[in-house]
Chains A and B, each alone.
Chain A
Amino acid sequence: MRSARLSPYLFIAPFFAVFAAFGVYPLLYALQLSLTRWRGAGEAHWVGLGNYLYLLTSPDFWASLGNSAVMWLLIVPVQVVAGLGAAVLLANAKLRLRGLFRVAFIAPFVTPLVAMAQVWIVVFDQDYGLVNHVLGLFGLPAVGWLTSTVWAKPTLALLFLWKTTGFAIIILLAGLQAVPGGVYEAASIDGASRWRQFWSLTVPLVRRSTAFLVVVQTLAVFQMFAEPFVVTDGGPYGSTTTAGLYLYDHITASDLGTGAANSFLLVLLVFGLSLGAVRLLRPKDGAS
């Protein structure tokens, strides 16, 4: 039975080979890199925690985190509320055309982000875009959706919401459908109103899928890259330079030591936020 003892190791070997070569090695390398000053060529100088201190005292670094935090506020709460609302409507057993609605909601999730980012450039253009054209038909003034520091973030947030809310709906719908129907019948007999049923029954029961959604989207929002990279290039005036795009800027500037340090700070932050979200949304009875 020698082969039976060896075979599980052989079966998992490809993963560990790839992980060692393109996961562990670069990770350790990044750790070392983050402690040096290196411009992609020439000698690397040991700077200890210098890169970390530089970032932690750099207004640009905090501005990028601030931009991502605002994005998070514009996206995650809106998506959870809208997603739950749509999921509750879709979960109704007597709803007709459910399949059709579901296809419509998920279609954006399937489209390539870069392609849709281009569509956003065209649709939200200040001078010739579709949105300002429609506003004009109602006699409303044109808005600098992508050129004003006020509107650029919400316009990018809208792209993110448009693209991923269908995903949120599917996740939350699955959570809802795991709720046994009998619970609601009992509540109706007890005379609980629809709103009361929603808040005291539905919400606690979808906590698990909501927690999952919040964690996944928090990770995604703080790594957001393609949207600002393609649509606004971080502008206007850096207002859409998200944490992910700021990280990329270190690559373009060949400031790789700082970039590596920035990666680790971002990972710590994202881990912290995810843990916080899981804790806040964990069911009270402790069963997760």
Chain B
Amino acid sequence: MRHTRPNAAHYVVLAVLAVAFLYPIWWAISSSFKPAADIIADPLALGGPTLDNYRAMFADVPIGTGFANTALVLAVKGAMTMIFCPLAGHAFAKYTFPGKNALFGVVLLTLMLPTLVLIIPLLLEMSALGWVNTYQALILPGSVDAFSIFWMRQVIAAIPDELIDAGRVDGASELGVFTRVVLPVIRPGLAALAVLTTMNVYNDFVWPVVAVNDTAHQTLQVVLSTLAQNVTGNRVGADFATVWGELLAAGSIAMLPLLVIFVLLQRHFISGILAGSVKG
């Protein structure tokens, strides 16, 4: 790029943008620690700090259940993605076998399939199986996804064939080559896959809200959305401020885990985001 030194205007523009991006997050988190009445009375001021909003929210909303359900879905779905997607990527990157191109074509085709088209028939399939309001309904659909396979194929294709042949010569089985030669080499790619998968599963909303309608199985995002609907339905209620306080407390606590992971592992986040753009 050009090597002209950036002037003050550059920094001002970037700083204004940065504040615009961060302020809503900061406002939500800081307001969640204010007395509920103050959120409405003076939204700009800092107040408290108090944990009243959090206490009220925990008493009102099954957010703990939401966290537990999300954690369970994340653990199983994440494990399936982390095991099966690199494995399939390895097969497409390092083997020649009859039908390979056609099968990989199918993987690429499903990349372009919008999630929305499957929602209704999947819901009917779940009810035919008796799986509405179950964990398997939340976990199985989309659990070994095409994008991750495509991405892992790119990552594994970059490994020199000599390395893999050397593993074979050493007497490793086909699976052994994968676990002892391939996996250690692609560790950074796996870390990025883990981070991106965590974000996608944690934030997933459309399918969970359709597949589950009982409190016992609701994921965190679904629990949050029911709280928001209470607010829109409760406009004339006397406790308007209290509900807002709960809303901000729930939102803040839901943001926290991913923000922490992001700040700690931002390099992996960014390479995960960029992995998508190379497919164009």
Contact = CB atoms under 8 A, between A and B. Distances in A.
A247 B270 contact: no
A87 B183 CA distance: 34
Contacts of A157: none
Given A4-B174, A86-B14, A105-B21, A112 B141 contact: no
Contacts of A91: 1
Contacts of B5: 94
Given A110-B269, A112-B258, A270-B114, A22 B141 contact: yes
A121 to B, nearest CB: 6
Contact of A226 (B119, B202, B205, B255): B205
Interface string B85-106: 1011011100101001001001
B251 interface: yes
A71 interface: no
Contacts of A114: 203, 205, 221, 224-225, 228, 254
Nearest to A187: B2
Contacts of B146: 15, 19
Contacts of A209: 277, 280
B205 A113 contact: yes
A185 B146 CA distance: 41
Nearest to B243: A122
Contacts of B158: none
A233 B229 CA distance: 9
Nearest to B143: A18
B227 to A, nearest CB: 7
Interface string A152-189: 00000000001001110011001111010100100010
A286 to B, nearest CB: 15
Interface string B166-210: 000000011100100000000000000000000100110110011
B14 A90 contact: yes
Nearest to B274: A174
Interface residues of A, number: 106
Main secondary structure of the interface of B (DSSP, over half): helix
A29 interface: yes
B117 A263 contact: yes
Interface in A46-78: none
A142 interface: no
Contacts of B76: none
Question: Chain A CB within 10 Å — which of B85, B87, B173, B247 has the most?
Answer: B87
Given A19-B106, A95-B10, A123 B27 contact: yes
B273 interface: yes
A84 interface: no
Given A12-B88, A117-B228, A215-B280, 5 more contacts: A11-B90, A12-B92, A111-B25, A128-B240, A162-B21
13 contacts: A25-B121, A93-B3, A104-B21, A105-B18, A106-B270, A110-B199, A111-B25, A117-B228, A118-B247, A130-B44, A171-B277, A230-B229, A263-B118
